[in-house]
Amino acid sequence: MSVTIGVLGIQGDFGLHQKALQRIGVKTLVVRYTEELDRCAGLIIPGGESTTFIKLLRKTDLFESIGSFGRTRPVMGTCAGLIILATRISNNGFETLGLIDIEVERNSYGRQVDSFVDTIRIPMFEDKPEFEGVFIRAPRIRALGAGVETLGFHREEIIMVRNDRVLAMTFHPELTHDGRIHRYFVETMAG
């Protein structure tokens, strides 16, 4: 594919997202500075620690730049990335990018030892809707606002959503060898 997808590289598992994109033939750029966003057709915000992410985004002047980027170009967020993209956090008051109208609860499943792997359902993958879901100190989506579409479930719980420009999930697709979510983001939203 001829587009370049940026992966925010200030914290978290950005290298695994980069490898996932490369496996499906997509050019990548690790984004650490505002000017690098201009070279990206889309951006992935990886998992990590959400409060640390916000502090680093502010320190590097990326907070406003990514907010502006996400109002015109596609962004994908996993785990902490979802938290940063949400409009509301039910159990923390820090300011987020507010690019997708959802309310989330941080660390909703518990501590690191409560992390788990389980089969999830992504109905838009009609031929094989099952996907391996890796949940690490995962958030929960507590409420959806206008214009937010549900894409994935763990049992009956919503774990993957999108609006016009943002794809967000509570789990880590980069920790699997299944490239369908990354491919969906690139082909459907950033292509």
Instruction: Tell me phi and psi for residue 184, to 5 degrees.
Output: -60, -45
**19-33, 50-64, 116-130: the lowest-pLDDT one:** 50-64
- pLDDT tier for residue 91 given thresholds of 50, 70 and 90: confident
Among residues 84, 176, 186, the alpha carbon closest in space to that of 133 is found at 176
Is 156 catalytic? The answer is no
Domain extent for 40 = 4-190
Model pTM greater than 0.85?
yes
For residue range 107-142, what is the model confidence (pLDDT) as tens digits?
766 566 668 899 999 999 999 999 999 998 889 999
- CATH of residue 35's domain is 3.40.50.880
Number of domains in the chain: 1
Catalytic residue among 17, 79, 154, 182: 79
User: With contact defined as beta carbons under 8 Å apart, do 62 and 40 qualify?
Assistant: no
Gap between the Cα atoms of 76 and 159, Å rounded: 13
Nearest one of 118, 113, 88 to 103, comparing CA atoms: 88
**pLDDT class of 2 with cuts at 50, 70, 90:** confident
| Catalytic residue flag (residue 172) | yes
Selected catalytic residue, list 17, 36, 154, 172: 172
**Is 174 known to be catalytic?**
yes
Spot the catalytic one: 17, 105, 154, 174.
Answer: 174
Predicted confidence (pLDDT) per residue in 60-85, tens digit: 889 999 999 999 999 999 999 999 99
What number of other Cβ atoms are within 10 A of residue 20's Cβ? 23
